[in-house]
Amino acid sequence: MVENEKINYKLIMRIRLLLLVVWFIVVGFLVVECVPSAKEALILATTVKPETFTELYFEDHLSLPNKITLFKENNFKFTIHNLENKDMVYIYEVYIDVNREKQMIDKNSVLIKKNEYKTITEDFTITVPTQRVKVVINLIGKNQQIHFWMGEE
């Protein structure tokens, strides 16, 4: 009789444990379905989101123009690399900052397909005597920019 009671006790404990697990699953499901913030938290915790970003950089950065020579044509190249996981239209502006005044060189847009890149060449001439200028490339709407400085010879 004692042997049967031990077997019954073990069986009852296993059934109780199984019922407890089922109860937690049902309650968890109800919480997730009935509480929107819990559902959002679960989705955020279990969904892998790919990192998206845009690379903006100079090509051959060691040979960027660095000396101001009036009326001499300068040029440089910059690249936009689309890693946003979708095709993107990038609006960019290129300007010279002379004593906090913008002198526009170029303003344009370019369509770059997902995971591709575009290298853009810019030509400009400085026509006003100045000691130092900053050449800026700004991706409008992306809060991203790069620049380099040029000084007197």
Segments making up each domain of the chain, as ranges: 2-46, 53-152
Once rounded to an integer, what is the mean pLDDT over residues 95-124?
Answer: 95
Predicted local distance difference test score (pLDDT) of residue 150: 97
Tell me the three state secondary structure of residue 6: helix
Residue 90 vs residue 3, higher pLDDT: 90
Query: Domain 53-152: which CATH class?
Result: mainly beta
Task: Identify how many contiguous H helices and E strands the chain contains and give both numbers.
Answer: 2, 8
* pLDDT tens profile 27-36: 887 777 887 8
Length of the chain, in residues: 153
* pLDDT tens profile 13-54: 888 888 888 888 888 877 778 878 877 887 778 888 888 999
Q: Measured between alpha carbons, how far is 24 from 13 in angstroms, rounded to an integer?
A: 16
Q: Which helix (H) or strand (E) holds 18?
A: helix 2-34
CB atoms closer than 10 angstroms to residue 117:
14
Q: Order of strands, edge to edge, in the sheet holding 73-83?
A: 53-58, 73-83, 117-125
Q: CA Rg, the chain, in Å?
A: 31
- Band (pLDDT 50/70/90 cuts) for residue 106 is very high
- Band (pLDDT 50/70/90 cuts) for residue 2 is low
Name residue 23's amino acid. W
